[in-house]
Structure 1
Amino acid sequence: MHLFYPIGTFYPAQSGGPSNSVYWLAKALVRQGVNVTVLSTDTDQPDNTLRNQWLTTEAGRVRYVSTRHHNLPWRSIWQSWQLIPTVDLVHLTSLFYPLSLAAAVMAIRHQKPLVWSPRGELAPAALALRPWLKQLVLKGIRPWASRITFHATSREEMRQIRTHFGPDVRVVELPNYLELPPLLPPSVPGALPPYLLYLGRLHPIKALDRLLEAVALSAVFRNGPWQLRLVGTDASGYGATLRQQADALGLGHRVSIEPPVASEIKQRILADAHALVLPSHSENFGNVVIEALAQGTPVVASLGTPWSILPAEGAGFWVANDPATLAATLDTCLSLPTGKYAQYRQRAIALATAQFDIRTNGHRWLSTYTALTTNQLTTPLCVE
């Protein structure tokens, strides 16, 4: 079986979740004997990444195509068109990226099985950005929806897919699986002030303004030694707005806005946090939640995320993201007795390991791809 992933950015780029999640999936499939080809632009690649040549990697055959304008990847489109007739299945990771749209046209033309992952792009908050253009694209996809297998990472995303493409559209529901990092030992107690952590894109859809209001309302936060660290990419200058808000709330000395981190530094920041907070208005998944859980760090996630499993498994909290509710939840989280907090950390590790480790769950994707390439997958389903 030969699988093809045309994608905007790919590991070692860190431009969003698919850069890593597709990389981990491709590696898991290669370990199971699958022939994998990845074609990516060179957006956000390190200078030492080899461009415009096929590389043999743990994730299969990979090519990073030099691209002057990320949203006009003409060379990537042309090369994907040349590849698609030779593969068995095409898997796309964006509904609106030009490379995905062009690859979809070619896959349908050549009657190749096509899997399409919206990756949160159908959430109302996401569709509110440039809505006229996105509605035009969705209108163009609808006539071909019966030829597509959509991938949802949650039941809410499955509902969104059916809302836009019809109740009978074929959907497979599978979470993102991660290559879990090693569990880091605890840092020396007292080496850093205790802190809450947000790690991800600094963007209004992440509701970080509400998180700032919440910590301002949290009596336990304000009356204790706690810090709030906001760590991530700030492409639009939103960090300056958050800094002004923190200063206005009297939290300038308690809130730090920090650049993105990777590798062991990222894992250390996650491991040492008292809790990760993901207050987003909308989130189709949130890989960082699994990364935090894998380091034993409990998570406070909003109802706009698909993380209802957190309280069910005793690994965190799933609450509305209005400031008052968030503040009350933070008070609870920051006041947990030592023994109870230790239980949260243990359950966090157990949840990440059992349900989201690509090493033990990669076979679920292989089963799905096999069913599609042999015409055995004909109805919407959730792979167990």
Structure 2
Amino acid sequence: MKINHVITSIDISTGGPARSVTHLISEMLSLDSNIKIDLETLKSPEPILKTFNTPNGNVYFHDFEKLGLSKSLKNSLKKSEAHLLHGHGLWQMPVHQMAKMARERHIPYIITPRGMLEPWSLTQSPLKKKLALSLFQNKDLDHAACIHATAPMEVKSIRDLGFKNPIAMIPNGIDLKAFSDTIPNKSKTPKRILFLSRIHKKKGIENLIEAWTQLSAEVKQNWVIDIYGNGDTAYIEQLETLIKKSNLENQIQIKAPVFGEEKLKVFRAASLFVLPTFSENFGIVVAEALACYTPVITTKGAPWETLETHNCGNWIDIGVEPLVESLNKMLVKSPEALLELGINGRKLVEDQFSMNAVGKQMLVLYDWILNQGETPEFVKYEKK
């Protein structure tokens, strides 16, 4: 079985999707020595990886022209002997080129929207997205052999838009081999709240800053907030100005992004992870925080109800007031109580979100699409 994956970028600056895709492919290559996978992407300054270090996996970096179109990607897909194509993301030309070439060559394909069909995402640059939907995006999605969603709420969003394709509900996973299973020593002087993600307005960072201003000095005593990430320079400057105007420079700091071992150290040192997002199709950083024994507060813009059902954090409504309420409860907990939540979170990730389990499900999906055996239980099928 030969599969070609297509994603616009795997640059280290692009966040969760690049990590999810590269880790997923690596896991599938390790699970099945008979599968061959080519990852096709555009050139970028700092790709997460340049090779899979295995003979059955390749990475190809393509030049691109105006609007992100790539002649070399088109030629590669035209010559490919792939049995199945799998594209990640919407609105961008590489995945559209993949879908168009798949239809021309009668090759089945999967599209993973990566949260780009969520209601909040559709309200961003809505005119451009309506135009893209009418010109090519609806057709690309409608003709996909399957659409891959990472959570039940994303399945619902896709169905609400009228798409009747089979939908595979397979969560993103993380490679637990990279995450130590030893219980960490959390920072105590001061205790740290962590935000670590792409710095973007959809992440709700302003809500976190505003919520912090509403907490009493007693509750905030011996706590600081570390915001790690990269993003638009002008937006980061706006956040820094807001922090300064609120006289919080000694309590909230925006720091350069960290990667690899340094990122894991930051996760493990934090006593609490907060992602006050407006919209996530999954939120890989939530799983990463839990894998580091760190409890999480995130919003119902992310599909993490399991924080409540497995007692490893709070799943709250979007906005400042729910965040204030949650922080008031969390910050007064003892270090031992917070660590207990973190231990629960680690077990949740081990049970449900390991990359091994996710890779196995994706291989089952590929086999089902190509061989049409019994429909997997994680496929939501609705006939046209």
TM-score normalised by the chain length of structure 2: 0.90
Structure 1 partner of 2:167: 171
| Equivalent residues of 1:228, 1:256 under 8 A apart | yes
Structure 2 partner of 1:35: 36
Which residues of structure 2 form unaligned runs of 5+?
none
Structure 2 partner of 1:8: 8
* 2:190 corresponds to 1:155: no
Structure 1 partner of 2:298: 301
Which of 126-135 and 88-97 deviates more? 126-135
Which residues of structure 1 form unaligned runs of 5+?
none
Deviation at 1:142, TM superposition (A): 3.1
Three-state SS of the structure 2 residue aligned to 1:121 is coil
Deviation at 1:340, TM superposition (A): 2.5
| Equivalent residues of 1:170, 1:380 under 8 A apart | no
RMSD after superposition: 2.5
| 1:308-366: CA deviation from partner (whole Å, max 9, x where unpaired) | 11010011110013212101101111111344323201101101111111124421111
- Mapping for residues 60-209 of structure 1, pairs under 5 Å: 60-67=57-64, 71-83=68-80, 86-139=81-134, 140-143=136-139, 145-166=142-163, 168-180=164-176, 181-183=178-180, 186-187=184-185, 190=188, 193-209=190-206
Give the one of 303, 312, 315 matched to 1:315. 312
Distance 1:312 1:258 in 2: 33
| Equivalent residues of 2:209, 2:243 under 8 A apart | yes
Paired residues in the alignment total 374
Give the one of 353, 356, 360 matched to 2:353. 356
Distance 1:39 1:158 in 2: 26
Distance 1:316 1:331 in 2: 13
Distance 1:288 1:107 in 2: 32
| Equivalent residues of 1:120, 1:126 under 8 A apart | yes
| Equivalent residues of 1:8, 1:97 under 8 A apart | yes
| Equivalent residues of 2:14, 2:198 under 8 A apart | no
TM-score normalised by the chain length of structure 1: 0.90
Gap change, CA 1:78 and 1:128, over 3 Å in 2:
farther
Distance 2:85 2:374 in 1: 15
Three-state SS of the structure 1 residue aligned to 2:131 is helix
Three-state SS of the structure 2 residue aligned to 1:237 is helix
Distance 1:189 1:201 in 2: 23
Give the one of 221, 229, 234 matched to 2:231. 234
